Structure 1
Amino acid sequence: MPAAAYRFREKILRVPNVPVSASSKKSALLVIDVQGAYAPGAPVEITDVTQHNEVIKGLVQKYRQVDGEVIWILHHELEEDPVSYNAKDASGDFFDDLRPNAGEKVIIKHMPSSFHETDLQEYLESKGIKQIVLTGYMAQVCITSTTVYGFHLGFDVVIVRDAIGSHECLTPDGERLVTAAELVEGAVNLLHDGFGTVITAADVQA
């Protein structure tokens, strides 16, 4: 049975989750799209982005303190994309106080999934990493697509619910405003049901 299918069976049977440890050489922290395009006042502002960034910062420090693996994902729209709010300009860069250290892996992506047409899979496999711990933005887009893609590739995917965020938006009929909290809650419930393990930052061990 493929590893991904086996983990799906584990979830259905409610088998206990494997602990998340920053010091494990099989675990990597992914910081996805934590960039200026989502800052306060930006075209697509993440609700409570400063608060989420502080949680992410704490996790980054926890991994760094034990020489754990931290991987940074930065989204750049393709130049031919007619709708671009975080293209190759200042808004597409990392936050000033939350960015890679020298030597930490940085991946540029052009689509929601961090795996699509990037070397993330190859890099993880070269390091023997089996578990990816997801943080960043946005919950219902890049976090969800990276989770599903990673699950299909056989990785143990963990989503840190207080380290991911989103923005508010209208329903398709334009009749109701969907809050960021609702989008995040919907995403984590969907992913927990079959694709990943949902935890909080406090659950990550040193």
Structure 2
Amino acid sequence: MPAPRRALIVIDVQNEYFTGNLPIEYPDPGVSLANINRAVDAAEAHGIPVVIVQHLAPAQSPIFARGSAGAELHPSIAGRPRALLVEKAMASAFAGTELGAWIEKEGIDTLTIVGYMTHNCDDSTIKHARHAGLALEFLNDASGSLPYENRAGAATAEEIHRVFTVVLQSSFAAVLSTDEWLAILENGEPPVRENIYVSNQKARQGR
């Protein structure tokens, strides 16, 4: 099998998730941010292009308002070298952006996703890319979620993050820790990929 042609997609590592109105709660944002930067370091060392994605909303928005401190990239990411900066207004980094055209031009076949949030922009980007025929890797300790409560119910950040990563591994992406991803960059082994049937069989047998 030929080696994958990867790109590291760093999604929405912005102040809003640290000091703004949408603080990430799980995993610990200090840990996930450190792992994001480890992934960027490794990508640079292995010649993997890095794409930085930034979500921007209208100036009157309570979150990610263009020109606000919350919408700015986190200082640890803002100055990092990148092959492409993508500004988006919707959850998927592909929606209404140049990302898809850039991936095709560069001959990329595999995307490694880090950043925020697991259940929203990461999930949307992964599914968009998977439906476009790309292979996906998701670093579950270089991402994160926050809690929700609405008329449908309530869920903690940990519950949301855990369930989304299980579902992603079942069909859409190879879910890895940052350490596991760094290891496969060194040894060239493919990540473990599973499917809906196998995932369901394991659950049924474990009852």
For the aligned pair, the TM-score class normalised by the smaller chain equals 0.7 to 0.9
1-structure distance, mates of 2:114, 2:79 = 14
**Percent of aligned pairs with the same amino acid:** 25
State TM-score, norm by structure 1.
0.80
- Checking the alignment, whether the CA contact within 8 Å between 2:50 and 2:82 is kept in structure 1 is no
Deviation at 1:102, TM superposition (A): 4.3
The alignment's C-alpha RMSD in Å is 2.0
Equivalent residue number for residue 142 of structure 1: 121
- Checking the alignment, whether the CA contact within 8 Å between 1:34 and 1:137 is kept in structure 2 is yes
User: Among residues 83, 91, 95, which one is paired with 1:104 in the alignment?
Assistant: 83
- Checking the alignment, whether the CA contact within 8 Å between 2:52 and 2:82 is kept in structure 1 is no
Equivalent residue number for residue 191 of structure 2: none
Equivalent residue number for residue 34 of structure 2: 54
User: Among residues 158, 178, 190, which one is paired with 1:201 in the alignment?
Assistant: 178
In structure 1, list runs of 5 or more residues that go unmatched: 1-17
1-structure distance, mates of 2:48, 2:81 = 14
Equivalent residue number for residue 169 of structure 2: 192
SS class of match (1:194): helix
In structure 2, list runs of 5 or more residues that go unmatched: 187-207
State TM-score, norm by structure 2.
0.80
Structure with greater proportional helix content = 2
1:63-113 CA distance string (max 9 Å, x none):
11222211100000145xx64411112211111122243453110000000
Q: Report how many residues are paired.
A: 180
Deviation at 1:171, TM superposition (A): 5.0
- Checking the alignment, whether the CA contact within 8 Å between 1:25 and 1:68 is kept in structure 2 is no
Task: Give the partner amino acid of 2:94.
Answer: F
Task: Give the partner amino acid of 1:49.
Answer: P
Q: Does 1:86 align with 2:59?
A: no
2-structure distance, mates of 1:167, 1:103 = 27
2-structure distance, mates of 1:74, 1:50 = 19
Equivalent residue number for residue 43 of structure 2: 63
SS class of match (2:64): coil
